[in-house]
Amino acid sequence: MRRIGGLLRSRLLGLLPGRADWAAARRSPRRDLLAGLTVAVVALPLALAFGVTSGLGAQAGLVTAVVAGAVAAVFGGSNLQVSGPTGAMTVVLVPVVQRFGPTGVLMVGAMAGLVLIALALARLGRYVRYLPTPVIEGFTAGIAVVIALQQVPAALGVTGAHGEKVWAVAADAVARFVVHPKPAALAVALAVAALMLLGARWRPRLPFSLLGVAAATILAELAPVDLVRIGALPQGLPAPSLGFLDLDAVGMLLPSALAVAALAALESLLSATVADGMTVGQRHDPDRELFGQGLANLASPLFGGIPATAAIARTAVNVRGGAASKLAALTHAVALAAIVLAAAPLVGRIPLAALAGVLLATTVRMVEAGSLWALARATRGDAVVLVLTFAVTVIWDLVTAVAVGLAVAVVLALRAVARSARLEQVPLDAGEHRAEEHALLAEHIVAYRLDGPLFFAAAHTFLLELSEVADVRVVILRMSRVTTMDATGAHVLGDAIRRLRGRGITVLISGITPGHDQVLSTLGIADELRREGLVFPDTPAAIRHARTVALGGADAAAPVTAVTA
């Protein structure tokens, strides 16, 4: 226990920030400050919108952007990452709010934070790169559609729409809108979305989301239109509280907490990877990034915030703004805190339809049609994984979609690897023997070379092919090119050897690598062959013994099994 405690202490100290993390901030503080202010302007409407969409309200979105954004900036493993509420996270949180209420969401966030810290201590951050691209693209596109569907009631000015799934709620909102249409809300949502999309092409650096929200708010104040507003917001951050803790609910909330932690880890590490690719010389530490996100998700619920993760869109704005250190992300959080303190009454007057327009435009930007089309045409397997992950995300939920997408991707990958395994008959080097002897060897000795993996997915085919060998006295199995062998493959090999020996065929084994030899010895597959002297270090030695058997030598009566390299 003492050794384990020392190891955990050492890993924890390695995850904490040091002086070197802030060295870059001293080189160009002005650029970092300007980049942080730019991100804050972009993040404000998004934080409000995602807070509303999550079900906990605009205040929760602002608190998350401030608290989680600051904590993740200080303790995270990327100099460029900007964290806060995201659309993907709201997709996971909406069912939690419906089942367990706001306190359940806070509890889930804290539990997810602990899971992320555990992942960081276990050094599992590096393994996110093994997630297949079709799964990532599929659930990203699915999330975009789900977020867009979530905005339908607000965009149509409909309240009280209900349904078990987000698409059912959207359908109910449309039906209510047809009966009692409110064109003002729809016009505002579409106008804000169009301004963002068209403005981004005209002047990419201008914060058209903020401009659109401001214009919609002014219109709502001056014109006699019926638009639902955000409502009153407190001027300042709430006092920290542990009132949401409910240890009796841990068991019920654990699946949701694991889903939130998985999403936070995935989205944060993907965002950090994207940020690294947009710069020269910046590289994130995946385990420290998980640690920072874990602390952020522990801190956010204390102030009533929702679970957070790094945001690819805000991180990209940060990078394009010239950020080079953590100071930029920290400035973004401080600027949002100042807005909460100074402008809460103004923020409360923003129409919900305007925020719906912001998110509708955001979903359009999330989907890269060219990338999806390229993946769909790459291979049939990639297309299946992509479409399946997308469909399950929209119809059921994100966690199920990732699980299904991964499962199908793994099955297809195993199928491809299994197909790469070959059992190939190869010619024997007859040397200078007489023609009669050559004919005898060709008739009674067969050598097979095993190429590729011999594991559970490929073993059955191997057994069928090898068991069909006929009209031979000696079979040589060359194993030097076997790349992988598991217990199933070893047992199938032993079964094939027993079947051949039962038919009076001598089996010789050659070229077993040390790693595969250990598997065979542990399972007792090669013990009998070793006792009979039928395992050879190389193929020439096995061939010499096979010739003795085929020519009717002293060993001819003994059943011989040869596996050669």
Instruction: Provide the pLDDT for residue 289.
Output: 94
At residue 558, the pLDDT reads 41
The whole-number pLDDT of residue 317 equals 77
Q: Please list the residues that pair with 510 across neighbouring strands.
A: 478, 536
Q: If pLDDT is split at 50, 70 and 90, which confidence band does 456 have?
A: low
pTM beyond 0.75: the answer is no
Name the DSSP class of 180.
Answer: S
Q: What is the pLDDT of residue 565?
A: 41
DSSP state letter for 532: T
What angle do helix axes 133-150 and 380-395 make, rounded to 10 degrees?
Answer: 30
pLDDT, position 70: 95
Instruction: For residue 492, count other CB atoms closer than 10 A to its CB.
Output: 24
Tell me phi and psi for residue 455, to 5 degrees.
-135, -175
Strands 422-426 and 445-454, sheet pairing: antiparallel
Q: What is the pLDDT of residues 475-522, one digit of tens each?
A: 888 888 888 787 878 888 888 888 888 888 888 888 888 888 888 888
Asked if residue 18 lies in contact with residue 285, where contact means CB atoms within 8 angstroms, the answer is no
Sequence-separated (6 or more) residues with CB below 8 Å from residue 70: 330, 333, 334
pLDDT digits (tens, 9 = 90+) for 91-150: 788 888 988 999 999 999 999 999 999 999 988 887 766 678 788 788 778 878 888 888
Residue 430: DSSP 8-state? -
* pLDDT score recorded for residue 459: 63
What is the average pLDDT score of the chain?
A: 82
- pLDDT for residue 267 is more than 50: yes
Separation between Cα atoms, residue 228 and residue 352, nearest integer Å:
6
The per-residue b/e assignment along 153-170, b for 16 or more CB within 10 angstroms, e otherwise, is bbbbbbeebeeebbbebb
* Token pair 């202490």 in the structure block, residue: 9
Using DSSP's 3-state secondary structure scheme, residue 74 falls into helix
Summarised one tens digit per residue, pLDDT across range 394-420 is: 887 767 787 888 888 888 877 776 665
pLDDT band at residue 82, thresholds of 50, 70 and 90? very high
DSSP-derived secondary structure for 134-168: HHHHHHHHHHHHHHHHHTHHHHHT--S---SSHHH
pLDDT at 421: 60
Give the pLDDT of residue 66: 94
Residue 222 has pLDDT above 50, yes or no: yes
| Weakest-pLDDT range from 175-189, 319-333, 374-388, 446-460 | 446-460
Q: What is the pLDDT of residues 157-211, one digit of tens each?
A: 888 787 777 888 889 999 999 998 889 999 999 999 999 899 888 887 777 888 8
Most confident of 277-281, 306-310, 433-437: 306-310
